[in-house]
Structure 1
């Protein structure tokens, strides 16, 4: 009996990018703010990337992960591979100190109400979104991609020693935009924009009950 070829997931289309045109090179743009409100670039990167975006489920990333809601006070810290370890730890502690201390020690329902998060997992007046409501309780979120992922994991593991803190690890994908430019300014190569997806790790830190 011959095995049939595996079918791709409906929310994970083929994302293989076409080869670069002859005489062109890639110029990588900085990654977006890595917040939870992610938008597609205005210009279509290529036919393959535009098809991938159209096949993705609304509100989900490439892996079908739906972004959880965030409280207004949540501090997002973008981690880089060259960031000093203790500097990141101090930034996390500063974010915890400036957070709403009044929610520490309250029951879960009381903490959600104090943070101003609606029952549907969003702030009142915001559009509804699905996702774990408890994710809105994060006081600080470390966000890392590429070589910085190991640094974020090390900081999260270090903070897990503190019994007063709850540390959660999550993975998702983010869209990065690259420019395809000509190597020679006089070359007859049309500039293009293409989208690639990179893995991202989030480390959520909050006060324990």
Structure 2
């Protein structure tokens, strides 16, 4: 039976949050993955453990940590408050939560993909006078692209489905901070099964299409 969704705001907000989060983790994750994949230094293991920590921590713990950080009395929150900026209970807080939980997935995928690239190609480019930035964009990135795409998809899916940390720092404000997972939870809690089923169908179909497309793309790359 066709289920009609009357309020598309959670869907549009979730897509906006997920896209911004993926853009952020890509910009931050790729350089960091490149650095840690090719360099050895004191404290590297500690840094990698900190980066991957959100993978094992409960989302509510991550949300509480972010709340301490960006709250009015937090380290970053006090600075932002002095500038007249408040992130808590805004959709930007949802972006921050999604970015934090998705970052390890992008980092791990990008690092594995970069480590799979033969370093001899990079060394040959250096002997020809190519700079590190040019080597990364013309050699490392194209060769590692399939793995990076996988990281993008995983990060997007994780950001799209983020619930616990988002609820802690962004709350559930319809039309402002209510993403699809939040809308589903509170729709079920209110007994609105029609809305819950519609949102579940939307996020499931959308995620399936994205993953299916990436798998097809990766298969074509191997031929």
Tell me the TM-score range normalised by the shorter chain: under 0.3
* Higher normalized helix content (fraction of residues): 2
* Higher normalized strand content (fraction of residues): 1
Instruction: With the length of structure 1 as denominator, give the TM-score of the two structures.
Output: 0.25
